[in-house]
Each structure stands twice: as structure tokens, then as C-alpha cells.
């Protein structure tokens, strides 16, 4: 039987282990922590195809969505196919949404424009005063990343025979071999490095020349809301963040207004999303700070900016913040969507998916493994 070792049990490592196992590999996963605690559990839990540009990346996101739905259903993991709303309160925001739908009527049947009176059917907390309309998409799914990333290993072991070793660090990789912290060597036909923002430990020279960096994002969570909120929400700032909208003719004018009216939001890469988990808690964020060496301390003023903008489009019944944290993920600086490289025969590095790891990982590794 073919064998493979996967380093890292975050979402990229889990997706890689699954893709290998269903193709007949005996898969062993090494995770240096007692459970994955990096960016894969410090996010919204959004599987977010709406943010990917139409074409190959959108199709990859839909493949991921299908695998998420299958895995969550079979493993008993909570998930909510609640869709998303991009709310528009200005004519320039509405113009971007109109162009997006006009260009994607055939290729993205999940999207449509809603008028103000239709928005209330999709969201109990969207601010209707001054609302121009909204972009509705039925593609988006929410999972609780803390639950999902914790439960998927046992499910993959039971269904696919994947073997997990937590609390075991890999310190060296060669073709066909990895060495763990106890000095032991482990052999496999192929090795996959999916180590997230820890990209200096193995092949440091490769990563130094890869064009990869880090992104720190600050996030918050509220107390449980008294009822379900409906669709996940965002507003105009989000249109400047995702590649799905970047080539629309109206976007430069919108960005120019934000540069004049909200420069501090653009400086810190703030665009605001809100999702709700199975306990009714709302997850809010986020900010984006880039660099190899990031401040370990969070800035309360950035969280305040997030809340200030959130209140322009979403009124939570219980807005009290009960948790704050930050996550750090690996991202490409050159505009590429990920880093896929073979530093030596039989060794593959998969990294740098940025903030799209939950959305793209399952679909991406299906393509990568399928090409081997």
C-alpha cells in the first residue's frame, strides 16, 4: 500500500489527509500541538464561495462546500447552510452589486439582488434604515471551527483509517522520511507539509524565497443571541476585500470614497463580517495586519472600529463581547492564491491560502492530489 505523511492537522492538513486516503494511501498525520489551535480554529467558520472570483476558484470553493457538507453530516458536526447577505447603503455600493449579478447570472445561479423589504426574510438583525438593497447568495455555509477541526480527525480515522499523532513535532524532512522530536525516523512514499504560519521550521530557505508572509487578524465573539440571526452579514467594505469583486467597473469609485471617508479602515484592512454558531454566539471581525514579525498584543481601538462599522448594518440583540482573540495565517504577497512547491522529490508543501483556508482547502487538495 502507498503511504503518506502529512505534517499539520489544521484544515489544509486535514483536507490533504482525506484526499490521500480516498486514493488508497495509508496516511499518518503529525501535529505538534495536542490539538490544532492555529488559524483553523480562530476564524468565522465561514465556507465563503461568494468571495472567490467566478471560474476555477469559485468551482474549487463549491467542491469544498460539498465535502464540508458530506463530512459534517456523516460526522455529526454542526453546520448551517444559511447563505450570506452583502448589504448596500450607498449608491456606489449598490452599483457594484448590480454589476456583479449582471456578470454572473448564468455562472453563479446562487446569487440575486434583494430589495429592502426582502432582506428581512433573510436576516432578523440587518439594519433596514437607509438600506438600498442586498446581494443574496445561498452558497455559504457556517461551521463552528473549534468543533469541526477537533472532530474531523476521529471521523477521518473511523472512515478512512487515517492515523493521527498529536503532540508530536516533525523536526526534519527528507525524501521518503521525516524525523520527529523523539529522534525517530518515519518512512513514507510521499510527505506533505501543511504547517500554516509556522513556515520557518522546515525548509526555511525555500520559504524565505517563496513570497509568503503572515497576516494577523483580530476577532471577537458575543454572548448567545436570543434567536437565530439568519444569513451571515457584511456590507460595503467587504466589496473591497474579496477577489470576486475586484474587476468590477464600479469598484474603484467605491474604494476612492472609502479612502476619503474611512482611511483608518483601509489602513488596517478592516472589513466586517458576522456569523453565528450553534450556541447562538455571534463571531465578529476582522482586521488584517501583514508582516513576518507581528505585534503579539491586540489593539482595542481596532476592535472598536469593527464594532462601530458593524452597528451601521447589524443590530445584535445582545452585543456584549465575551471573547477576543487574534489569529495568524500564512498568505502570499505576490497575489497568488496559495504556495504549492516540491522542495525535493516526494515532498510537497501546501501553504499560503490566506483567509480562504476554510473555503478552498478541501477542493484545492482534491486538485493537487489528483494530479500526482
Q: What is the DSSP letter of 90?
A: S
Q: Identify whether 51 is part of a domain.
A: no
Contact yes or no for 148/72 (Cβ under 8 A)? yes
**pLDDT value at residue 15:** 98
What's the pLDDT at 248? Answer: 97
Say if residue 200 is in the same domain as residue 341.
yes
**Residue ranges of E strands in 75-124:** 79-80, 84-88, 111-114
Is residue 293 one of the residues assigned to a domain? yes
The count of structural domains within the chain is: 2
CATH of the domain at 174: 3.50.50.60
Same domain, 189 and 100: no
Residue 186 has pLDDT above 90, yes or no: yes
Same domain, 203 and 221: no
What average pLDDT does range 140-168 have in this prediction?
A: 98
pLDDT tens-digit series, residues 251-271: 999 999 999 999 999 999 999
Domain assignment present for 301: yes
| Domain presence at residue 348 | yes
The residue segments making up the domain with residue 119 are 84-138+212-332
How far apart, in whole angstroms, are the C-alpha atoms of residue 236 and residue 189? 48
In a domain, 75, yes or no: no
pLDDT for 1 beyond 90:
no
Per-residue pLDDT for 158 more than 90? yes
pLDDT at 105 over 90: no
Instruction: Give the pLDDT confidence score for residue 297 in this predicted structure.
Output: 96
**Residue 301 clears pLDDT 90, i.e. is over it:** yes
Residues 227 and 311 in one domain: yes
Extended strands (E) in 41-124? 46-47, 79-80, 84-88, 111-114
pLDDT at position 133 is 98
Same domain, 315 and 234: yes
Please give the pLDDT value at position 370.
85
Averaged pLDDT of the chain: 96
The answer on pLDDT for 76 being more than 90 is: yes
Flag whether pLDDT at 371 surpasses 90: no
**Chain CA centroid to CA 100, Å:** 22
Q: Quick one: pLDDT band at residue 80, thresholds 50, 70, 90? A: very high
Q: Model pTM?
A: 0.96
Residues 319 and 264 in one domain: yes
Alpha-carbon span 77 to 79, nearest angstrom: 6
pLDDT band of residue 346 (cuts 50, 70, 90) is very high
Residue 67 lies in a domain: no
pLDDT > 90? residue 294: yes
Q: Please state the rounded mean pLDDT for residues 294-317.
A: 97
Task: Give the Cα separation of 268 and 256 in Å (integer).
Answer: 16
Amino acid at each position: 500500500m502507498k503511504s503518506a505523511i502529512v505534517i499539520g492537522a489544521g484544515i489544509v492538513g486535514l483536507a490533504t489527509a482525506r484526499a490521500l486516503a480516498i486514493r488508497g494511501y495509508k496516511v499518518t498525520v503529525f501535529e505538534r500541538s495536542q490539538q490544532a489551535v492555529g488559524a483553523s480554529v480562530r476564524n468565522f467558520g465561514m465556507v465563503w464561495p461568494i468571495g472567490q472570483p467566478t471560474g476555477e476558484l469559485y468551482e474549487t470553493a463549491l467542491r469544498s462546500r460539498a465535502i464540508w457538507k458530506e463530512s459534517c453530516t456523516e460526522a455529526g458536526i454542526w453546520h448551517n447552510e444559511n447563505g450570506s447577505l452583502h448589504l448596500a447603503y450607498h449608491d456606489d455600493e449598490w452599483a457594484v452589486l448590480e454589476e456583479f449579478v449582471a456578470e454572473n447570472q448564468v455562472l453563479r445561479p446562487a446569487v440575486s439582488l434583494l430589495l429592502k423589504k426582502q432582506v428581512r426574510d433573510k436576516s432578523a438583525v440587518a439594519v433596514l434604515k437607509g438600506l438600498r438593497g442586498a446581494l443574496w447568495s445561498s452558497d455559504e455555509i457556517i461551521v463552528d471551527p473549534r468543533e469541526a477541526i477537533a472532530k474531523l480527525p476521529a471521523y477521518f480515522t473511523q472512515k478512512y483509517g487515517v492515523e493521527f499523532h498529536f503532540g508530536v513535532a516533525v523536526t526534519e524532512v527528507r525524501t521518503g522520511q521525516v524525523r520527529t522530536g523523539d529522534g525517530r525516523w518515519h518512512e513514507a512514499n510521499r510527505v506533505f507539509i501543511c504547517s500554516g504560519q509556522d513556515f520557518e521550521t522546515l525548509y526555511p530557505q525555500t520559504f524565505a524565497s517563496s513570497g509568503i508572509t503572515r497576516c494577523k487578524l483580530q476577532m471577537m465573539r458575543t454572548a448567545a443571541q436570543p434567536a437565530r440571526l439568519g444569513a451571515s452579514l457584511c456590507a460595503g467594505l467587504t466589496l473591497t476585500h474579496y477577489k470576486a469583486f475586484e474587476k468590477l467597473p464600479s469598484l474603484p469609485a467605491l474604494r476612492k470614497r472609502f479612502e476619503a471617508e474611512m482611511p483608518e479602515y483601509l489602513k488596517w484592512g478592516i472589513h466586517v463580517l458576522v456569523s453565528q454558531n450553534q450556541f447562538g454566539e455571534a463571531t465578529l471581525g476582522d482586521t488584517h495586519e501583514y508582516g513576518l514579525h507581528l505585534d503579539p498584543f491586540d489593539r482595542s481601538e481596532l476592535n472598536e472600529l469593527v464594532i462601530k462599522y458593524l452597528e451601521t448594518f447589524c443590530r445584535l440583540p445582545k452585543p456584549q463581547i465575551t471573547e477576543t482573540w487574534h489569529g495568524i495565517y500564512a498568505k502570499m504577497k505576490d497575489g497568488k492564491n496559495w504556495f504549492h512547491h516540491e522542495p525535493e522529490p516526494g515532498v510537497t508543501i501546501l501553504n499560503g491560502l490566506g483567509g480562504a483556508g476554510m473555503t478552498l482547502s478541501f477542493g484545492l487538495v482534491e486538485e493537487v492530489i489528483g494530479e500526482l
